[in-house]
Amino acid sequence: MKYIAAGSVITNRIWYKDGHLVDGVMGGHGLFGYEGMALGSPDTVFVSTVGPDFDDCYGKWFDDNGFSREGLSFRCEKTLYNELVYMEDGTFVEYSIYSPKIAKHDESVAPVRVDDYEKFLPDCRGMYLMILPKGDDFKRFAELKKQYGFKLMWEYTTGKLLTEGKEAVFDFINDYADIYSLNRPESYQLFGTDNEEDTIKKIMELGKPCYYRVGSKGAYMVKDGRSAFVPVVNIVPHDQEIDPTGCGNSSTAAAGWAFFEDFDILMNCIWGNVVAGYNVRQYGPYPEINEKVRKEAMDKAKELYMELRK
């Protein structure tokens, strides 16, 4: 496979702050990353860890779209399934719906390991990854990246700053990430800034390409001392959009694919935002990912490119 999206599958039961419940929603950063990559190219494999109940929620989506299961490792007792309860301030608490014994076991074996995707690396051009390997697994990852020369889109999360420290984050970006992505709150924590202008300067100083997400405003693509801004792309009217969950993951992976394909800085940013526009149209990932939808999405991106380049 030319492209790899690796990460978690987590089914969600969501309690919103107005009291309504939505259950059985497909999710997980890996799954949304796969959506973002697959909207760019069918030559993409999804690498994740799941349980024998995987097809109960995800089987139809995989079958309807002709997706391969060859990257799935069935080592969990059950596919991760979490309940999210949103609070009045917009924050949420999250926990497994299963017993503590099952939850503890599955959370310990769920993280994707290097040997889960190593077999796909010889033909890999680019990879989306959010959770970093650890210890000896990380050493193996570094060796394989050097050996095969694949490019990496790394999605930064604040948790890495808390567990690894700021210097370790910068070292990873400099040494291993070919492009990275972060959102506005994460950027302020990482760079010690409090506005987008100063943050973009810091990103430029770091010197690595970055797809910088600024929420409902849109996103920037920063590369080679230049930046391009693209506002949020509404594929349907805003009042018809359903759920923004996963937009950051899908758009990050999409921007990674565009970078791997050598799109210019503006089109790179546009493509990430277009894919987010598809993700927000329903709960979970976009239901149809095929050549018709890919062409529709790319036509939309090209149309925007002609408008914004003026």
Strand order in the sheet with 44-49: 72-73, 44-49, 3-6, 126-129, 151-155, 179-183, 210-213, 218-223, 226-231
Estimate the crossing angle of helix 265-279 against helix 247-260, to 10 degrees. Answer: 150
* Number of domains into which the chain is organized: 1
pLDDT in tens, 118-160: 999 999 999 999 988 889 999 999 999 999 999 999 999 877 7
User: Structure pTM?
Assistant: 0.95
Nearest CA among 165, 114, 166, 116 for reference residue 142: 114
pLDDT in tens, 27-60: 999 999 999 999 999 999 999 999 999 999 999 9
Torsion on CA atoms 265, 270, 272, 277, rounded to nearest 10: 170
pLDDT in tens, 255-301: 999 999 999 999 999 999 999 999 999 999 999 999 999 999 999 99
What is the extent of the structural domain holding 182?
3-308
pLDDT at 90: 66
For residue 137, what is the domain's CATH number? 3.40.1190.20
> Contact 305/266 with Cβ under 8 angstroms?
yes
